[in-house]
Amino acid sequence: MFLEKMVDINNILIEVSNRHIHLSRYHLNFLFGEGYNLKVKKILSQPGQYAAEETLDLKYEDKILSRVRILGPTREKTQVEISYTESRYLGVNAPYRLSGEIEGSPGIILVGPKNSVKIEEGVIIARPHLHISYEDAKNIGLKNRQIIGVRVSNYRPRTFHDIVVRAGHKNKVGLAIHIDSDEGNSAGILKSAYGKILF
């Protein structure tokens, strides 16, 4: 009988997720042209997801963040994820939310190659989270939406205490903790590192 390898809680991949945009099909068509398809730049750790070649500018009042990467594929609703530092720079009061929880969040102007559009909501600061399969979560004693910590023991050791467990189907998630650029910088993590889960 084949047994899957047990998750090593002492060696969990931590990835820094920089500012990015998830577009709806409607907004992709409007900003780039009807029927436009994103071009894959880099495959990401979460199955089926990728960083696109395309970028957009974000505009809020008189401030602009240029060349913000689009992640594919398209989603039902457009969402913009930025760091707290970027939120302060723009002057937008972005709430601290899990990805997908955009109700009541502020809007912003997306500037594309063909058109610009103001979304009425969708700008958030993403909470750090652990992507894990239901099976792996159960095997190591975690539950969906549980709050855990992770210890990074590099030259700038840090413990993050607000990691939300996001359990999903094993074919739809890749085992990884996602933090934003502010959190990554505080621990001296440029792109990725490994850490220990703390219950």
From residue 192, give the alpha-carbon distance in Å to each of 49, 72, 91, 134, 155: 17, 20, 29, 23, 14
Quick check: 136 and 101 in contact, CB under 8 A?
A: no
Quick check: 82 and 64 in contact, CB under 8 A?
A: no
Residue 53 phi, psi (nearest 5) = -65, -30
Does some domain include residue 69? Answer: yes
Q: Are residues 30 and 107 in the same domain?
A: yes
- The reply to whether the predicted model has a pTM over 0.85 is yes
Does some domain include residue 62? Answer: yes
- Extract the tokens encoding 23: 């577009």
Q: Are residues 110 and 152 in the same domain?
A: no
Reported as a single tens digit per residue, the pLDDT across 35-66 is 999 999 999 999 999 999 999 999 999 999 99
- Looking at 91, 126, 161, the residue that finishes a domain is 126
The domain that contains 134 carries what CATH number?
A: 2.40.40
Q: Are residues 78 and 118 in the same domain?
A: yes
Q: Are residues 78 and 176 in the same domain?
A: no
Q: Are residues 110 and 154 in the same domain?
A: no
What average pLDDT does the chain have?
95
Domain that holds residue 177: 128-198
